[in-house]
Amino acid sequence: MKLLACLLTLVIAAGSALSAEPTPDDSTSRTRLLAPFRDKIERIIFTKHFDMGGSHYAYTDAVSDEDTLNPRGTVKEFNFKGGSSLCLLEIGDDYAVKETTLLHDEDGVFRDPDVSHDGKRILFAWKKSARGDDYHLYEMEFETRKVRQLTHGLGLADYEGIYLPDGNIMFSSTRCYQNVDCWHVSVCNMYLMDGDGSFMRRVGFDQVHSNYPQVHPESGLVTYTRWEYNDRGQIYPQPLFQMYPNGAQQTEFYGNNSYFPTTILHARGIPGTGKVLAVLSGHHTKQTGKLAIIDPAKGRQETSGVTLLAPVSKPTGLIKIDRYGQGGDQWQYPYPLDEDNYLVTFRPNGQRHFGIYFMNKDGKRALLASDPAISCNQPIPLAPRTLPPKAAYPVDWRKKTGVFTIQDIYHGPGLAGIPRGTVKKVRVVALDFMVTDIGRKHGPSTISDLAAWDVKIVLGEAPVYEDGSAAFEVPARTPVYFQAIDAKGHVVQTMRSWSTLMPGEVFGCIGCHEDKNEVVPNKAITMAQKKGVKPLDPFYDITGKGFSFPKMIQPILDARCVECHKGDKTDPPDLRATPVWDNRARKSWNQAYHALISTGRPGPPANDTSQRLGTIAEKSKYLNWIGRWSVPVMIPPYSHGSSQSPLIALLEKGHEKVKMTREEMDKIACWIDLALPHSGEWTEGMKPEDKAIYMNVYQKRMELQKQETANLHEYIDSIGKVE
């Protein structure tokens, strides 16, 4: 390993060696652009590394041993290329540029620099070799160049670290031990630790990737990109979320019910505003795209709050593009100095590598750093900056639960047109995400025949009072979503996202998908508040268990249906529990499950993997369910599910004089409204050899959770000593 300290003097005029540079390259123009910001950008930290990325926007690198070789020996996605530097750029009084290499590694990669608010320390991620190391967080004391390692662990990748106003550090990590539902890549979620690396604890519990946390300079909240596809298509969207630095109040910032932007990348808050500067990109792309300002005050969906930059333009119409923004000039990692002027990582159309530029909103620019052999990336000023507000929201790490309150479930577009009194309950469903890929040729394992994405655990139900209010307790640090249930036990509306509470957190909703920009007066006191926060009512005997068709629905069919529906050609469907092996999924389905979801289905079979974007519900002869590739935008109430399923109507009429109990009908309706899960555990239906592969990695997850529990106990003890 070589650590080099060398001094290079580069005088780079705007547009030098760039044939696509349209702006003047005279020193007067350069001085005029840079002079107002001379004090802010006198010293800039940046990196040199390969152009990161893989088959999807989130895969900046195959970051851990889970992404190197799968257990069957097939090479998984891997795109690491060693040879990197952590650099300092200095702009002199004459606006000439001097570049200093702080660290160089011929085999490794430096990425994601951040500078402490006092301007004295540099936080960065470093992976020292392709196979022998993973990304971990390091900190350099700038004046002495002393480096210390903050995180450790082979097979665990920590990156995208940031300094928080309270002295803690937030970062992305694969320590969650999860696999992307639709491909062979490990997942990163958000973690938190003290400034010295102690008390590491997880604050993100998301299905797939959460990327690029940044503290907004005005609010003190952390913005980040979250990939969403619970009961909807995985291409759209990758919206921008926000949360408090302790993980509380995780909620949408922009685009969670939109086709556009397909992906919001590298967002940073703009000083003096509530806006962010970001890169708009696609899904099956690397992390590059078009530069834009997002202003949620103008709207939070589609193009309403988006202004494209360099030059300024306004996107219009309905934009539905998977690989959005991949042609022409390309941007990465913008750093806003104010609303009109920025440091950017930029690659002019036709150029091979990215460089560091000063740029304004109209596209006038000055090149600050470039290298003919490698891209220059991720600029951030090395200077003291105003400490953002220490945004605080109360949490109590000693507790195991949190509380959701709903002021009026009928308020908002989610239940538009639904008469008051229709919704009787809120069903709360927890999600259990996949640990690892078991090596299927066509993608990871699955818990349904291409219906539900993840294991679903019904935690219980809460009453909705006459005024539309509700208040209930849920497990903390657990991803949950909600379904509005009517008097028949059918879904009226479903949440195709998830929410996670920190311990002791109280999260209040005004209504069902209410407009966050709308000012709505709080009711003096709701009926739910008068009744007090209640624990969830159990949903029969399946509460707290992964919903399993063989365990929860097949016994009903055995008791009520199989006597007639036992495979005779004259009396389909075959509703027996006979295992049906699916080589594509590497799992067996119950014959009854396969028959109900597939028999009589119009068009492609249920396991057709074409992405039928633009639909809401999938249909068979007997069932109607929310489509795995359903639209990203908000769907109408009663648009899918048990209320629309012919099977439910048939059973309600007393088919062949069979009279189902209310419990049996509720369970069947629940199964349909959960989007037809087959397996209540990821290993259900697997062959023993596949289960062994899965459980081996699952054990690693459990070991890390045990360590995190110990960290939390130590953290709680430390808080107690301070208090």
**pLDDT tens digits for 671-723?**
999 999 999 999 999 999 889 988 988 999 999 999 999 999 999 999 876 54
Query: What is the pLDDT at residue 443?
Result: 56
Across 538-633, where does the E strand assignment appear? 579-582, 587-590, 617-619, 624-626
Contacts for 156 with CB less than 8 Å, ≥ 6 apart? 64, 134, 173, 174, 175, 704
Query: 104-118 in b/e burial notation, b at 16+ Cβ within 10 A?
Result: bbeebbbbbbbbbbe
The pLDDT of residue 334 is 98
Lowest pLDDT segment from 76-90, 416-430, 534-548, 610-624: 610-624
Q: What average pLDDT does the segment 124-150 reach? A: 95
Q: What is the pLDDT of residue 513?
A: 81
The set of residues, in sequence order, having a beta carbon less than 8 Å from that of 42 and lying 6+ positions away, is: 90, 91, 381, 383
- Go through 533-554 and write b for each residue having 16 or more CB atoms within 10 A of its CB, e for each that does not: beebeebeebeebbbbbbebbb
Say what the pLDDT of residue 6 is: 35
Among the ranges given (208-212, 286-290, 416-420, 626-630), the one the predictor scored with the smallest mean pLDDT: 626-630
Q: Whole-angstrom Cα distance, residue 628 to residue 704?
A: 31
CB of 254 closer than 8 Å to CB of 296? yes
pLDDT of res. 63: 61
Short-list 304, 327, 345, CA closest to 44: 345
The reported pTM is: 0.92
Helix (H, G, I), strand (E, B) or coil at 509: strand
Contact by Cβ (8 Å): 637, 493: yes
Q: Sorting pLDDT into bands at 50, 70 and 90, what band is 605?
A: very low
Phi-psi label, residue 269: left if phi above 0, alpha if psi -120 to 50, beta otherwise: beta
Q: In what order do the strands lie in the sheet with 6-10?
A: 6-10, 97-105, 84-91, 43-49, 375-381
167 falls in which pLDDT band (50, 70, 90)? very high
Find out whether 354 and 332 touch, Cβ atoms under 8 Å: yes
CB neighbourhood size of 633 (10 A):
15
Place of tokens 């119009």: 602
Q: Give the separation between CA 312 and CA 579, rounded to whole angstroms.
A: 59
Q: What residues does each domain of the chain span?
A: 6-381, 401-673, 689-723
How many whole angstroms separate alpha carbon 429 and alpha carbon 454? 11
pLDDT on residue 514: 80
- For 527, phi then psi, to 5°, come to -65, -35
Q: Which two tokens stand for residue 702?
A: 């459990």
Once rounded to an integer, what is the mean pLDDT over residues 67-83?
A: 65
Above 80 in pLDDT, residue 99? yes
CA distance 71 to 62: 16
| Average pLDDT of every residue of the chain | 89
Mean pLDDT of 403-423: 96
Which residues have CB under 8 Å from 680's CB, separation 6+? Answer: 447, 455, 545, 546, 547, 548, 551, 552
CB 453 within 8 A of CB 178: no
- 13 pLDDT band, cuts 50/70/90, is very low
For residue 373, how many C-alpha atoms fall within 13 Å in the half-sphere facing its CB? 5
CA distance 173 to 156: 7
For residues 586-614, average pLDDT = 66
- Name, in order, each residue with C-beta under 8 angstroms of 75's C-beta and a sequence gap of 6 or more: 68, 69
181 confidence band (pLDDT: 50, 70, 90) = confident
Out of 2-11, 134-143, 301-310, 362-371, which region has the weakest mean confidence (pLDDT)? 2-11
Q: Mean pLDDT across the stretch 48-58? A: 89
Integer Cα distance of 189 and 187 in angstroms: 7
CATH number of 6-381: 2.120.10.30
Residues 441-460: tens digit of each pLDDT: 555 668 998 789 999 999 99
